[in-house]
Structure 1
Amino acid sequence: MWHFYCTYIAMRTPFYDQRLTHAVASGCRQVVLLAAGLDSRAYRLDLPDDTTVFELDQDAVLDYKQRVLDREQAQASCRRVPIAVDLREEWTGPLLAAGFDPKKATVWIVEGLLMYLSDSDCSQLSKTVGSLSAPGSRLVTEYYSRQPRVEDMRSGSKDEQEQASWALAMEQFDTGPTSSPATWLADHRWELTGLTHVAAETHRWNRPLPAELDQSDIVLWLLEGEFKAT
């Protein structure tokens, strides 16, 4: 289990970083992190100082992160705006009130979230993000080609504690999007501009592939879409 998560996070992070920095270099000056968690891209990436990073997450998460950042005397490379919201509730109002401009191109980072949502919730999220996006905006995210099952992730392990941990983790998962990346994006005016998957990135970087990712019938997509004008 540890090998899986270490590889998964190590392989997805460069994908998001590269897509974000490329979009910013192309002119996007707003970045929105949905379910930002402990994301530190406003600090560790060399973003232009006229870029604004909006971080949306629950108040307790943002408070904890701020305490750590203050303790380390971390300095952001750009303007950072934390917004305490619960994404299960209405969040667009607080985002707009914090200075977000829907007329400007935006990079939307939806990292490690969609697999915990139903297909209909993912569709609504894509629709909502699209309603706040100017042409040229980017959406970067990931999801499984189908909902993982416990037997997919146990990979023959006989360790009872590891099996129990996987069972607990799988209880949190929902379907995520049930259509292909291109179709899911196109449903709300996003055009697929980048597609790979975690196993392919693991091979590309010549890293050992965890058994949980070495399966032919389930893929963990990494994708980017660009918002198009009608």
Structure 2
Amino acid sequence: MTRILLLAPLSTPLNKILREAGNDVICTESESARTLIKTSDYDFLISYGYRYILTKDELSFFNKKNAINLHISYLPFNRGADPNFWALFDGTQSGVTIHYLNEGIDTGDIIVQRKVEFDLEHDTLSSSYNKLHDEMVNMFKENMDSILSGKCFSTKQSYKGTYHNSKDKNEIFEQLSSKRDNVWDTPIKEIIEMGKELDEYDELQFRKVFDIK
């Protein structure tokens, strides 16, 4: 039996999937999980939508192949916050990625990833977000055994990518929310067109391209 610390909301399907596979799972999205890492003996760490950045010291309690993150972007694009939105706005590929954790933000070696396409005429910010999570769960189920056993392969990420923090979208979301009650109901086609129209948004720091040192 593998003892797994799952840093994710209790409602995540991964909790049930891992338990049904015979694993001993502790699931939490609390910042206090940092204490659990240091005081409890876990075999494996899985981060999925966890809002706190784990330090190098905290990750040192796991070997490289025993700590992974599930990120709803096609890395190396859209590291950090709100990857679904930024893939649409920046015009980068949408997708999902499972990668090893390191002290960087979504910069660890890639285990598996998959492109996800949307319906430009019907999908909204909300429905595209849900599709990404559905695909992530499916991809994890397909690769769970090899990941937990450490028998999976991995590749280093590209030196270039994009990154956003949670505040980067605020100005754009204010514009989108002026058009409807719930910004999540925004058609993805509208977000894509908005990104294309703002030719100087690099200067406004909406897009952040960087090199991994």
Give the shorter-chain TM-score range.
Answer: 0.3 to 0.5
State the TM-score, normalized to the length of structure 1: 0.34
Richer in helix (by share): 1
State the TM-score, normalized to the length of structure 2: 0.36
